[in-house]
Structure 1
Amino acid sequence: MPILKLSVIIPTLNEEECIAQVIQEVASNLQGKGFEYEIMIVDGMSKDRTRDIAREMGAVVVEEPRRGYGRAYKTGFEKARGEIIATMDGDCTYPAESIAPLMEMLAREDLEFITTDRFGHMEEGAMSDMHKIGNLALSFFTRLLFGRIIRDSQSGMWVFRKDALPKINVKDDGMPFSEEIKIEAFRKLRSKEVMIAYRRRMGEVKLSSWRDGWNNFKFLWHKRFRGPRDKSLRASRSP
């Protein structure tokens, strides 16, 4: 029987302060679990020592000069060798100890995609009040516009089967990628949302509450109302 392989994909940009701890936590929580794994850092051309530290820690490092949160994940998905993919950030916020239990749940419940909810067990100070309000608002509009019960549309920790990716159509290269992959998964895949712990980040906060929040909202509106219309227009213009 072939041994299952997992790819843990971590997008980074100037995360030298915490990336070694993240890689160590992932490795220590996956060793001896009965499956092979790789830790892949998809780096957006950091100006600090993020890539050097990751290589020293034994991670696979992929350089992605094209900017964008979604672009980093798309590149990682293409290069991942595992049948199962897990994602998390490089800032020490997500719990590496949850990866193996989520993989077990994926198999036990015959799921294709699991996303996580950070709000049930959030460490004090892990998210600013502005970011918290923005996240809750975006999650509300995701539920309202798409009719899918997703409590945390912006969570960046997912565990899913790689062979499910061709069944969904995730287009965005930026921050909206996070909400888009969940919308697509809950529409087309056997999916579930699970609570996890969420910790304070280390290093510089790179999100802009107003800019990123507004871009995410515009994306939701466009995907819900303009996407289907654009497709129909293209179809009507085809010879």
Structure 2
Amino acid sequence: MTDYSPTDPAGPVRADIVLPCLDEAEALPRVLARVPEGWRALVVDNGSTDGSADIARSLGATVVHEPRRGFGSACHAGLLAAEAEYVCFCDCDGSLDPALLPGFVRRIADGESDLVLGRRRPTTRGAWPPHARAGNLALSRMLRRRTGLRLHDLGPMRAVRRDALLALDLTDRRSGYPLQMVVRASDAGLRVTETDVPYLPRTGRSKVTGTWLGTWHAVRDMRAVLRQPETRTARGVRAEATR
């Protein structure tokens, strides 16, 4: 049986957590209540019209405004605003539990991994729509052919050292950002691992994979990432890591 307990017996770890946000007023109170104690929540408002930014601010989060639309734009704005040694990413729709992230960071701090991804495990039949699951499966197979990584999911919940991520020089500002992070990390020789996390039905309507069209756009963006050649930056990071 999978243990989803957020308890960290090795002691506290600290990180900044990036929460990309577009009209998530309904989910924000529950999500921010689950942010680990002592962590800074960076809610990146990507053009919300439902008062999300004001709600986040009233609940103690740091609000970053990113007017350029796109999941990657929001994530990268949060990365640039982060200051902690470790940075985590998590959806802001209530489908994932930020309280689990200390375990991710501990694995990096203990030298077990460099980039830890959450493998989504749906808790109910409707948590992960069939079209979104199919798109994720196809991309996982393409990623395996491109990098050799045997990952099952390219989900948005993850943790990494901030400096290591900045060194990868990510350029995608759309749906391909999470995949580009994994591809360039692999090209740079960073250790990429995954761990099971419960996946709950999201609060509200999905902006990316809630429809077939949204899934198609996401897969299109990610396929473009997989066609990119290894970058000089990634080669440099790998050389530095092996010294």
Query: How many residues are treated as equivalent by the alignment?
Result: 215
1:235 corresponds to: none
- Alpha-carbon deviations, 1:48-70, whole Å to 9, x = none? 11111101100000111011111
**Secondary structure of the corresponding residue to residue 137 of structure 1:** helix
Aligned partner letter, 1:19: L
Higher relative helix content: 1
2:186 corresponds to: 186
**Secondary structure of the corresponding residue to residue 203 of structure 2:** coil
- Once the two structures are superposed, the pairs formed by residues 171-182 of structure 1 within 5 Å of their partners are 171-182=171-182
Among residues 29, 33, 37, which one is paired with 1:24 in the alignment?
33
- Once the two structures are superposed, the pairs formed by residues 1-239 of structure 1 within 5 Å of their partners are 5-26=14-35, 30-31=36-37, 36-118=38-120, 120-153=121-154, 155-188=155-188, 189-207=190-208, 208-221=214-227, 223-224=228-229
Aligned partner letter, 2:224: K
CA contact (8 A) 2:174 2:221 kept: no
Aligned partner letter, 1:179: L
Q: Write the distance in 2 (CA, Å) between the matches of 1:68 and 1:85.
A: 19
Q: Write the distance in 2 (CA, Å) between the matches of 1:18 and 1:125.
A: 17
CA contact (8 A) 1:112 1:190 kept: yes
Q: Which portions of structure 1, spanning 4 or more consecutive aligned residues, are displaced by more than 3 angstroms?
A: 120-123
Identity among equivalent pairs (%): 27
CA contact (8 A) 1:5 1:81 kept: no
Q: Write the distance in 1 (CA, Å) between the matches of 2:144 and 2:112.
A: 24
**Secondary structure of the corresponding residue to residue 84 of structure 2:** coil
CA contact (8 A) 2:147 2:186 kept: no
Aligned partner letter, 1:181: M
What's the offset of the Cα at 1:4?
5.9
Q: CA RMSD in A?
A: 2.0
- Alpha-carbon deviations, 1:132-175, whole Å to 9, x = none? 1111111111111222222212x101111112124323210100
Gaps of 5+ in 2: 1-11, 209-213, 233-243
CA contact (8 A) 2:108 2:115 kept: yes
Q: Mean Cα displacement is larger for which, 54-63 or 207-216?
A: 207-216
- Alpha-carbon deviations, 1:8-48, whole Å to 9, x = none? 1100001111011100111xxx22xxxx3211101112011
Aligned partner letter, 2:29: A
Aligned partner letter, 2:156: G
What's the offset of the Cα at 1:219?
3.0
Q: Write the distance in 1 (CA, Å) between the matches of 2:216 and 2:187.
A: 28
- Alpha-carbon deviations, 1:91-147, whole Å to 9, x = none? 0011222111112222223432211211x4553211111111111111111111222
Q: Write the distance in 2 (CA, Å) between the matches of 1:63 and 1:17.
A: 19
Whichever of the two has the greater Rg, that structure is 1
CA contact (8 A) 2:31 2:97 kept: no
- TM-score normalised per structure 1: 0.83
- TM-score normalised per structure 2: 0.82
